[in-house]
Amino acid sequence: MAKSVNLEVITPSKLFYEGEVELVIVKTLSGEEGFMASHSWACKLLGVGEMLIQEAGAKEFKSAAISGGFVDVKKDIVIYTDAAEWSGEIDAERALSAQAKDEEWLMENKDAEGVAADDIERVQVNLTRQKVRLKVANGGRKKK
């Protein structure tokens, strides 16, 4: 059996996950990265993406959608994120509706005069969030 490490995933409202894991994979700002027991110290910013957790002794990954934040790797691994959702918690119809609204808004406003770049970026991030939520709701990428 591979070595395991304690993982905590913390949102502003709750401790989303705590347990012994062999591997956690997240999207950092420089790309997808995996962290495991005995990993060198790291502190990295996270992007919106799918988080994959391989619990100790498990062959399959658990999949969750996360909304940015950062990972702090020392003796344990701690992920701080604005939001985290398991596939069963995601309302796919609501995510599809939000995705459609964001896509429509971008089509109408991306090149329009007077639209702030911050507004466009905010909608693009939200659109990415909805796409990740839908991916996770549909099973994500759980296999090793």
User: pLDDT category, 2, cuts 50, 70, 90?
Assistant: confident
Mean pLDDT score, 46-56: 96
Q: How far apart are CA 69 and CA 83, in angstroms?
A: 9
pLDDT at residue 85 above 60?
Answer: yes
- Identify the pLDDT of residue 1: 61
- Identify the pLDDT of residue 140: 84
Q: How far apart are CA 59 and CA 134, in angstroms?
A: 23
Stated pTM of the model: 0.89
Mean pLDDT score, 14-40: 95
Q: How many angstroms separate the Cα of 127 from the Cα of each of 46, 49, 116, 120, 131? A: 17, 12, 17, 10, 6
- Identify the pLDDT of residue 28: 96
- Identify the pLDDT of residue 132: 96
Mean pLDDT score, 75-101: 96
- Residue 40: how many other CB atoms lie within 10 Å: 7
3-state secondary structure of 53: strand
User: pLDDT category, 115, cuts 50, 70, 90?
Assistant: confident
